[in-house]
Structure formats: C-alpha cells, structure tokens
C-alpha cells in the first residue's frame, strides 16, 4: 500500500512538472521539432546508447569474474536487459539492479551474496565515476558560463554528496568498522542473519585485493559518461541544436544524471525535462528545442530497453511450460486397485 502511494506521488510530480513546462513552452512547436528531426542522427544515437549499455555489462562482468563466478557475457547481457525493461518500460516496483542480482544469484549455486555484491559494487563504481565527473563539470560550469551564479548551489551539493558517497564506500570496505559492528548480529533475532552478513563481508573484501578490476570498472564507467554525453550531442544535433559544442553536452551530462539520482518522478520523466530545459537555457537553447531533445532521448532509453521484453516474455513462457510438469510431480500417483482373492 505504501509503495503504491509512492508511485502515485511520483506520477503526480511528473504531471505537475510537465504542466509547468507546457505553461511556458508551446507543445505544438515541440512536436514540430520532433517531426522534423534528423532520423539518421537519431539512429546513430540509438546505436551508440545501446553500445554504452553493452559496455556497462562488460564492466559488470569484470567484477563478476573477480568473485570467481561462472557466468557468460551473454547471460549477463540478458540479466541487464531484463532489468532495464522492468525499470524503464513496465510500471514495476522492482529495480534493475535487483533483477540483475537475483538472476545472477540463481546461477551461482550457493553464492547469492557474492552475486549481489558484484551488482552493488558495480553500481557504486558507476556512481563514483558520475559523482567525480559532476564535481569537475559543475566547477567548470561555474567558471565558464555567463550565468554561473545559477550553478553555485549545484556545485556545493555535488561536492557534499560526493564526499558523503566516498565516506560511505570507505566504510563499506573498512575491516575496522566491520569488526566493531559485528556485535549487532549477536543480538536476539539478528543472530540468524549472521551467516549471511559474514558471506556479504567476505564478498566485499574480495575487492580489497582487486584494485585492477576496480580501476578498470571506473575507467569504463568514465567512458560511458563520455558516450552518453555524445548521445545527447547527437540528439541535440538532430533537433537543430547546432550552435552548442560537444564540451557543453559533456559538461551538463553528469549534472543531469546527478540531479536525477533523487527519485521524485516516474522513471525520471518530467524531472529530466525540467533539468534539461534549465541547463541548456543557460547557453541560449530555446525551451522548445531542449524539451524536444529530452523527450527523444527518453525514447532512445525506452527503445534500448525493449530487447529486455523478449527476455521477459521468454521467461514467462518457460515458467508456464514448467508449471504443468511441476504439478504432475507434486500430484499423487494414481492408485491401481487389484481385486482381492476373496472377490474371486
């Protein structure tokens, strides 16, 4: 019930943000810009974004191998696509990371904690890359843009959030903190979670000695930041934003991602459009073109998530096919009644 209320509130926030934008931007102009956009540039952006998704799977695979988990790249791709589909297309309460962790845990044969930690650390390294880029780009934006005063609070917020995030990561990997907190699992009902906590701790400690894997993961995460900025650039070119340099898109991309970490709207809709209109308005981009660019970018996100629908449909069919077999196994065997000697 509580989760349903949260979803309703997010939808209301999304509608309110769109109503606010459309009160200042002519929707007909936006549709006209979208209708006249360059299809070839949009297709190139779609292909590049899908390539960035595959690169994201590759950086996850590095962490999975560090845990000595046997899972093929193709399997990891299917897990990731399913998570993206559930998160971006279906009105589901299940996050993409949860789906990835669950599907990988099913093939690890008793190493569910290690599978979950690989997903967690992959997410943390990705956030580290985005936080780092956001701090740098916010500082550059306040120096280079004419309306720098509008970004000063964002710069302060990114520095605070990045500092807190780094402190959290350090605490997670700290042996000293883990030793001090282990007494919690000696208390009453928490004792039954002690084996799981120990498995999680051991899985985390694996990465303390995998500096190369962590560094390569962060490097690939930085590459994804650049690639997604180029996707924004191609979509901007497609809708006629031709007088804004790629560096500006590289500047704004981490800031947009940073602000959207706050889940106030449904799948980021509305919030992303408002942020894009604000940032690109600082460099003179009309609101109608900025809004058209943001909507088309969201279309690309949804389209790249659709292959996960095939994975989802295939799993549903497999589950439906297995169900009768399971029922047959669970149903009692028929009893054959033989006539008794007395009945002859």
- pLDDT tens for 291-331 read 999 999 999 998 998 888 888 888 777 766 665 555 554 45
The pLDDT, as a whole number, for residue 150 is: 60
How would you label 249-271 residue by residue, b for 16+ Cβ within 10 Å and e otherwise?
bbbbbbbbbbbeeeeebbbbbbb
Mean pLDDT lowest among 20-34, 98-112, 275-289: 98-112
The pLDDT, as a whole number, for residue 190 is: 62
Q: What is the chain's alpha carbon radius of gyration, rounded to the nearest angstrom? A: 25
Helix axes 287-305, 271-281, angle to 10 degrees: 140
98 pLDDT band (50/70/90 cuts)? confident
Question: Is the separation of the CB atoms in 50 and 304 below 8 Å?
Answer: yes
Query: What's the mean per-residue pLDDT of the chain?
Result: 78
Mean pLDDT lowest among 148-152, 220-224, 322-326: 322-326
- Report the percentage of the chain scoring pLDDT > 90: 20
30: tokens are: 């936006």
Question: Is the separation of the CB atoms in 263 and 96 below 8 Å?
Answer: no
The pLDDT, as a whole number, for residue 53 is: 93
The more confidently predicted of residues 240 and 148 is 240
The C-alpha atoms of residue 172 and residue 175 are separated, in whole angstroms, by 8
Q: Which of 66-70, 144-148, 200-204 has the highest mean pLDDT?
A: 66-70
Q: Is the pLDDT of residue 14 over 80?
A: no
The pLDDT, as a whole number, for residue 23 is: 76
268 pLDDT band (50/70/90 cuts)? low
CA distances from 75 to 118, 171, 228 (A): 15, 32, 24
335 pLDDT band (50/70/90 cuts)? very low
CA trace torsion 105, 109, 110, 112 (10° rounding): -10
């Amino acid at each position: 019930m509580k989760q349903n209320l949260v979803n309703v509130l997010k939808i209301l926030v999304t509608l309110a943000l769109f109503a606010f934008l459309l009160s200042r931007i002519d929707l007909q102009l936006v549709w006209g810009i979208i209708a006249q956009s360059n299809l070839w540039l949009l297709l190139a952006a779609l292909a590049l974004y899908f390539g960035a998704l595959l690169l994201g799977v590759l950086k996850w695979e590095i962490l999975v191998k560090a845990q000595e988990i046997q899972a093929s790249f193709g399997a990891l791709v299917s897990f990731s696509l399913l998570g993206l589909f559930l998160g971006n297309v279906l009105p589901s309460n299940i996050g993409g990371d949860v789906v990835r962790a669950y599907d990988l845990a099913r093939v690890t044969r008793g190493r569910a904690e290690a599978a979950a930690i690989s997903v967690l650390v992959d997410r943390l390294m990705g956030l580290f890359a985005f936080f780092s880029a956001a701090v740098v780009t916010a500082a550059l934006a306040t120096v280079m843009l004419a309306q720098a005063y509008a970004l000063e609070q964002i710069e302060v917020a990114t520095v605070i959030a990045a500092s807190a995030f780094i402190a959290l990561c350090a605490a997670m990997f700290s042996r000293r903190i883990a030793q001090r907190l282990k007494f919690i699992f000696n208390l009453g009902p928490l004792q039954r979670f002690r084996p799981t906590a120990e498995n999680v701790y051991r899985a985390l400690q694996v990465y303390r000695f995998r500096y190369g894997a962590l560094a390569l993961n962060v490097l690939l995460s930085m590459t994804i930041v650049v690639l997604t900025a180029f996707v924004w650039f191609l979509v901007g070119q497609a809708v006629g934003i031709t007088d804004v340099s790629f560096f500006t898109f590289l500047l704004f991309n981490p800031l947009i991602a940073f602000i959207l970490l706050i889940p106030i709207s449904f799948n980021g809709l509305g919030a992303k459009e408002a942020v894009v209109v604000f940032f690109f308005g600082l460099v003179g981009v009309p609101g109608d073109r900025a809004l058209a660019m943001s909507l088309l970018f969201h279309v690309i996100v949804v389209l790249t998530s659709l292959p996960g629908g095939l994975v989802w449909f295939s799993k549903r069919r497999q589950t439906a096919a297995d169900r009768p077999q399971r029922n047959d196994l669970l149903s009692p065997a028929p009893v054959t009644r033989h006539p008794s000697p007395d009945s002859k």
